[in-house]
Chain A
Amino acid sequence: GAGVSQSPSNKVTEKGKDVELRCDPISGHTALYWYRQSLGQGLEFLIYFQGNSAPDKSGLPSDRFSAERTGGSVSTLTIQRTQQEDSAVYLCASSLGTSGRETQYFGPGTRLLVL
């Protein structure tokens, strides 16, 4: 079956521009997560959505970052006024639930480069 997909696979932008990154989770998965992988910070949690509950935004590094999940499926991560330190690989994952014991399935990531 189809896995988690993300688009674009690569994005180059200029400092100060806004970017949108998209994630399509595995069909039927109620939980969706965003992580960031960078050389300096390793793998960091950003935000997660579970069903109709309020998202856990505790990992977002600043108010320039926001995310939404429409219809309980597709999610968009938006970074406003990008900075060079935002350059990283942004990973999306989904899982069947959020028991804390569930396997998360990761997408291939979007590699963002801010010039």
Chain B
Amino acid sequence: GNSVTQMEGPVTLSEEAFLTINCTYTATGYPSLFWYVQYPGEGLQLLLKATKADDKGSNKGFEATYRKETTSFHLEKGSVQVSDSAVYFCALSVPPTAGNKLTFGGGTRVLVKP
């Protein structure tokens, strides 16, 4: 089956620190990969995505590269801000066998302190 494993949190950082959240996956087929973010009191929203190997998704200073050889999609940001405090979810979908339904990792809570 399909599954996503991401590092457990919480991750506590100081402002301007470097952030990495590891994500690895198992998929029967060729997945598309996503990072969703849930800010405090808000709904889930897409942060970035990549749909084929070696693609790099980027948004709001965050980046993740689709690595087929290591089945990974690690999220990175070079200099975090307090406003980046949130829960981050790695996810995949596997067209066409599994349609568009998302399989999520367990989420990683990130807390950035001033």
Contacts and interface: CB of A to CB of B under 8 A. Distances in A.
Contact of A91 (B44, B49, B94, B103): B44
Mostly, the A contact residues are strand
B20 interface: no
Interface residues of B, number: 25
B5 to A, nearest CB: 11
A107 interface: yes
A13 interface: no
- B interface majority secondary structure: loop
Contacts of B51: 101
In which size bucket is the chain A interface? Answer: 20 to 34
A31 to B, nearest CB: 6
Contacts of A56: 99, 101
A18 to B, nearest CB: 25
A59 B100 CA distance: 13
Contacts of A101: 32, 49, 51, 93, 95
Contacts of B104: 42-44
Contacts of B89: 43
Interface in B4-54: 32, 36, 42-46, 49, 51
Contacts of B94: 100
A107 B102 CA distance: 15
Given A99-B100, A100-B100, 18 more contacts: A42-B105, A43-B89, A43-B91, A43-B102, A43-B107, A93-B44, A98-B95, A100-B32, A100-B98, A100-B99, A101-B49, A101-B51, A101-B93, A103-B46, A103-B49, A104-B46, A106-B36, A106-B45
Interface of B: 32, 36, 42-46, 49, 51, 89, 91, 93-96, 98-107
5 contacts: A42-B105, A43-B102, A59-B101, A93-B44, A103-B49
